[in-house]
Amino acid sequence: MQKAVKKDYKTLKGEITIPSDKSMSHRAVILSSLADGKSIIKNFSKAKDPESTLNVCRLLGLDTEFKNNSTLIINSTAKFTAPNQELYCGNSGTTMRLMAGVLAGQKFNTVLTGDESLTKRPMKRIIEPLELMGAQISSSSGKSPLKITGKKLHATDYTCELSSAQVKSCVLLAGLNAEGKTSFTEPFTSRNHTEILLKYMGANIDIKGNTTTIEQSTLNPIETEIFADISSAAYFIAAALIVPDSKIILKNIGLNPTRTGIIKVIKQMGANIEILAQKEVCSELVGDIKIEYSQLKGTKIGKELIPTLIDEIPVIAVIATQAEGKTEITGAGDLRNKESDRIKAIVTELKKLGADIEETRDGMIINGKTRLKGDCELETYNDHRIAMSLYTAGLICQKEITVNGFEWVDISFPEFEELFEKIKQ
């Protein structure tokens, strides 16, 4: 689907509620399916990726129903049954990597598959620790389909070179069903929703610095309401910062410090941002964000911050084109292994708009401030975050742009354009 974006509005104003957090939606279903009893998950995401997780759990025998459209009721016996087909994870790396951790220790065999993009993504990062725990997984040179032969697992102490929440969650979920104490250590703390939710549901889990330890545990069912996704909010934060005279409020955003790197970075850049009402929901920090058009300056984003803003880098690149001076992003090499090579994708497309931006091995360098031109077609590389970042850039282009493959937005944020229409004045 092609989407035309042009400056057919004066500014962005208003208060909006961003949809439910994708990472939390995946985890809420998976962990509820491992608890014995009824879980109630309010505000479950309507995006395609969490739907993939839900479908996979259903194929494994999970009893689920929706009430009032977005409240998901899960009646679980804490036991999966052997599926009679392959488990299709769509575009979702989180579904495949987290479910591999759950499935490696089952008494039956499974096959995890995905779409064209997912079958090209690296899975060695989860196969390696799972095999150390006694798992049997065959892959096609470290890529999916993953053929998992269920085995009895034992604990391991695993040190990962990468800070990856998906790898960490995979190992912890396998550890939940393994004999002994499993530990996972990463260089910098990646998003820790799995650990927080596991603890909240009663797991024997211990978190010390960048090391998490887990033992076999029984989980209690939960009743929770999923907060809004800061990774989706990021496009609105970016738009408010770069569209003159904007002022918006984003409600009920998840503010877990392992996800708020974008807030740190834009503050460094000089953003007018305020965090309003804050509260805790199931041990996770939640609050409202007020953000205004700001005069920005370039900044440095290094490896220690990367896990806290990994999904926001394409849209941070858009913001950086509107900041005075140089912005340098380093230590983000794994961005090349996402739904697309996001370094190449965003650099190539922003260049078409006239941005002064260059690829490096593990990041990019952007020199601002540039008036973005438009009057061209841009590609999304079948990647939702590239599609939304380019739309955001299109809001300030001098001439109309066309974004090809805009339908990929539905992977994480089907309500994206409708919400932008609400705040365009």
Q: How far apart are CA 244 and CA 223, in angstroms?
A: 42
Strand partners, 288: none
Told to check if 311 binds ligand S3P by CB under 6 A, we report yes
Instruction: Give the three-state DSSP class for 404.
Output: strand
310 near ligand S3P (CB under 6 A): yes
Residue with tokens 């196969």: 127
Minimum CB distance to ligand S3P smaller for 225 or for 311 = 311
Q: Which lies closer to ligand S3P via its Cβ, residue 26 or residue 48?
A: 26
Q: Which is nearer to ligand S3P, 169 or 213 (CB)?
A: 169
- Does 53 interact with ligand S3P (rule: CB under 6 A)? no
Contact status: 165 vs ligand S3P (CB under 6 A): yes
190 binds ligand S3P, rule: CB under 6 A: yes
Q: What is the DSSP string of 27-94?
A: HHHHHHHTBEEEEEEET---SHHHHHHHHHHHHTT-EEEEETTTEEEEEEES-----SS-EE-TT-HH
The torsion defined by the Cα of 135, 137, 143 and 146, in degrees rounded to 10, comes to: -110
Interface with ligand S3P, residue 189, by CB under 6 A: no
Phi, psi of 331 (to 5 degrees): 75, 20
User: Which one of the spans 54-62, 163-171, 200-208, 345-353 is the region binding ligand S3P (CB under 6 A)?
Assistant: 163-171
Pick from 52, 94, 183, 367 the residue near ligand S3P by CB under 6 A: 94
Residue 311 annotated as catalytic: yes
Alpha carbons 313 and 72: distance in angstroms, whole number: 31
For tokens 């282009």, the residue is 397
> Between 24 and 43, how does the x/- string for binding to ligand S3P read (CB under 6 A)?
--x-----------------
SS3 call for 332: coil
Cβ 256 vs Cβ 191: under 8 Å: yes
Closest separation between CB of residue 396 and ligand S3P, Å?
A: 26
Stretch that binds ligand S3P, among 160-168, 222-230, 351-359, 364-372 (CB under 6 A): 160-168
Part of the chain binding ligand S3P (CB under 6 A), chosen from 62-70, 162-170, 180-188, 324-332: 162-170
Q: Which listed residue (21, 49, 288, 311) is catalytic?
A: 311
**In the complex, minimum distance from the CB of residue 308 to ligand S3P, in angstroms, rounded to a whole number:** 11
Asked if 1 and 406 count as a contact pair (C-beta separation under 8 A), the reply is yes
The answer to whether 110 contacts ligand S3P (rule: CB under 6 A) is no
Q: How far apart are CA 121 and CA 166, in angstroms?
A: 13
Q: Is 144 in the site for ligand S3P (CB under 6 A)?
A: no
Q: Segment near ligand S3P (CB under 6 A), from 164-172, 216-224, 260-268, 291-299? A: 164-172
d(CA 267, CA 252): 20
164 binds ligand S3P (CB under 6 A): yes
**Interface with ligand S3P (CB under 6 A):** 23, 26, 94, 164-166, 169, 190-191, 310-311, 334
* Catalytic residue positions, numbered: 311
